[in-house]
Amino acid sequence: MNFEELGLHVNIIRALTDAGYTQPTPVQEQAIPAAINGRDLLVSSQTGSGKTAAFMLPALHKLATAEVISYTNAKTPNQERQSARSRGDRPRFVAAKPKMLVLTPTRELALQVTTATDKYSAYTRRLKAVSILGGMPYPKQMQLLSRNPEILVATPGRLIDHMESGKIDFSELQMLVLDEADRMLDMGFIDDIEKIVAATPPTRQTMLFSATLDGVVGNMAKRITTEPMVIQIAGSASKHENIQQKVHFVDDLSHKNRMLDHLLRDVSLDQAVVFTATKRDADTIADRLNIAGFAAAALHGDMHQGARNRTLDGLRRGHIRVLVATDVAARGIDVPGITHVFNYDLPKFPEDYVHRIGRTGRAGRKGVAVSLVNHAESMHVKRIERFTKQLIPVDVIEGFEPKKTAAPSRTSARKPQGWKPGDNRKSGYGNNSKPGQRSFSKPGSSTAPRKDGGSAYKGNRQTEGGARRSFGDY
Ligand code: ADP
Ligand code: MG
């Protein structure tokens, strides 16, 4: 299957050729024809599987095909203002009337979607995409909106502000995309999303992308879509077979820091993301790494938008080799040079682990994901293993052996729940296990699947969700 067969406009195909896309990914193969036909979509597929193009290519196709008609009639807000002025009226702001709206959980993701859109629409020149984000100077946003962009990419909060002050009019909206819907709900955007959806015409086409389609996301999806086509791509990507995962046990902070420095000197490392639990740690560790001679920079929610953009830009250009980041700040970052992900601190939630390691191994490349774990955090690793249904091998580096041994060697001691024979070990990397590697589980820990499965975890998460946000730690 190639992009021509999916029925895309020639000018879009040209842009894809420039971008080096030779064939659609599985999610694109399914989503693009359905979306061109106007179907609502509910899509879950692994991070890095090409979801942006899965909604943006059919959208651009539809807008490019309809372009001729809309442009002969429509006046831009500037033209309208001009004629208002010539009529002697006071110049006023005319609301932007986008045809497509993409909602994303973070500013970084919104910018990434906008950048991808610019790339895909390189030969459909009249189509403009702009991002409306928290932290962007107001005059700049007004200027962007006054260009009456066809495509608006926004985080929910800031968009609501503009809607309420009459700067955006959704009466001509044709397509609504919720990218990383599960994350948006996690971040507490549900009311904002409902408000935004309610302001759009019921005739719109809705496309929702999420890591999972059950629970809260599923309920919302049901309310906002009409007879959606459900696309769920599991496949090998969901096991992250291209990402080599490891756990290194550490005794204390100084051991952890020495180990990190050692690992960052790995010759196979191009660029890395180091995840920390707090913004303060992100700053401290970035400073320390810089002093140690690594080109490091921090990325977290306390930084001004300008600084965040500069950091991401530096990362993309390769000036920054080590990004030290918190979960939300680094969500969805797509930089091909990231070969390594380090969990300096383990994530609070197993889903975040999956999002973190997905920063490497983009578009089928190989990647390495290393977690530096205190002995006391073994339970945390188990929760992650239960969630991903994969064992993470424990590795020991010569000269960096932990003083405490994690567990006596019992390679076959325990299988995570849902594990099937051959599930894990036959995936290339599993075979690399050296004799010294072992599962960290303690002898005598239950080998039977828990009756309550992951639900205990889920319950826990709901009570902690609100608290987590109020820490303001992103
Ligand atoms: P997701 O949203 O599913 O995490 P993205 O849309 O961010 O994934 O895409 C991941 C990477 O794959 C991006 O760098 C993108 O440019 C690249 N990509 C997407 N589709 C293709 C394709 N058909 N061929 C080659 N690369 C692609
Ligand atoms: Mg995405």
**23 lies in the same domain as 54:** yes
**22 lies in the same domain as 141:** yes
Residue 467 belongs to some domain of the structure: no
Residue 470 pLDDT: 29
Q: 3-61 pLDDT, tens per residue?
A: 999 999 999 999 999 999 999 999 999 999 999 999 999 999 877 889 999 999 999 99
**142 lies in the same domain as 275:** no
Q: Is the CB of 1 under 6 A from ligand 1?
A: no
**352 lies in the same domain as 285:** yes
Q: How does DSSP assign 346-377, residue by residue?
A: --SSHHHHHHHHTTSSGGG--EEEEEEEEGGG
- State the alpha helices, DSSP H only, in 22-106: 26-36, 51-73, 77-86
Q: Region 139-165: what's the mean pLDDT?
A: 90
Evaluate whether 188 touches 135 at the Cβ level (below 8 Å): no
**223 lies in the same domain as 74:** yes
Evaluate whether 177 touches 51 at the Cβ level (below 8 Å): no
With cut-offs at 50, 70 and 90, classify the pLDDT of residue 332: confident
Residue 17 belongs to some domain of the structure: yes
Residue 257 belongs to some domain of the structure: yes
Ligand nearest to the CA of 109: 2
Question: CATH number of the domain that 421 lies in?
Answer: 3.40.50.300
The angle subtended at Cα 46 by Cα 226 and Cα 37, nearest 5°, is: 35
Residue nearest to atom 19 of ligand 1 (CA): 50
Evaluate whether 204 touches 130 at the Cβ level (below 8 Å): no
**Among candidate residues 176, 206, 232, the one where a domain is terminated:** 232
Residues facing residue 30 across a β-bridge: none
Q: 233-275 pLDDT, tens per residue?
A: 864 445 677 899 999 999 999 999 999 999 999 999 999 999 9
With cut-offs at 50, 70 and 90, classify the pLDDT of residue 407: low
Given a cut of 70, whether residue 131 has pLDDT beyond it is yes
Residue 469 belongs to some domain of the structure: no
Q: 384-397 pLDDT, tens per residue?
A: 988 888 889 999 99
**220 lies in the same domain as 270:** no
**296 lies in the same domain as 434:** yes
Evaluate whether 184 touches 159 at the Cβ level (below 8 Å): no
> What tokens appear for 385 in the block?
């293993």
Structural domain count, the chain: 2
Residue 474 belongs to some domain of the structure: no
> Which atom, in ligand 1's list, is nearest to the CA of 54?
6
**322 lies in the same domain as 396:** yes
**Among candidate residues 232, 264, 283, the one where a domain is terminated:** 232
**214 lies in the same domain as 254:** no
> What tokens appear for 408 in the block?
């006596």
**187 lies in the same domain as 141:** yes
Q: Average pLDDT, whole number, for the chain? A: 81
For residue 69, how far is its CA from the centre of ligand 1 (angstroms)?
Answer: 31
Q: Is the CB of 177 under 6 A from ligand 1?
A: no
Residue 321 pLDDT: 97
Evaluate whether 461 touches 349 at the Cβ level (below 8 Å): yes
Residue 99 belongs to some domain of the structure: yes
Residue nearest to atom 10 of ligand 1 (CA): 48
Q: Is the CB of 25 under 6 A from ligand 1?
A: yes
**276 lies in the same domain as 390:** yes
| SS3 label, residue 141 | helix
Could you give the C-alpha distances from 219 to 57, 139, 185, 321, 457, in angstroms and in order? 27, 38, 11, 41, 20
Residue 48 pLDDT: 81
Q: Region 114-128: what's the mean pLDDT?
A: 89
Instruction: Name the residue with tokens 């019992």.
Output: 410
Q: Best of 5, 12, 13, 25 to mutate for ligand 1, by most ligand atoms within 8 A of CB?
A: 25
Given a cut of 90, whether residue 411 has pLDDT beyond it is no
**60 lies in the same domain as 161:** yes
**Among candidate residues 212, 232, 252, the one where a domain is terminated:** 232
Q: How does DSSP assign 332-345, residue by residue?
A: T---TTEEEEEESS
Q: Best of 2, 3, 21 to mutate for ligand 1, by most ligand atoms within 8 A of CB?
A: 21
Given a cut of 50, whether residue 455 has pLDDT beyond it is no
Residue 226 belongs to some domain of the structure: yes
Given a cut of 90, whether residue 174 has pLDDT beyond it is yes
Residue 334 belongs to some domain of the structure: yes
Q: Region 441-466: what's the mean pLDDT?
A: 35
377 phi, psi to nearest 5 deg: -95, 10
Q: What percent of the chain has pLDDT over 70?
A: 78
Domain range for residue 35? 4-232
Evaluate whether 209 touches 27 at the Cβ level (below 8 Å): no
Residue 406 pLDDT: 52
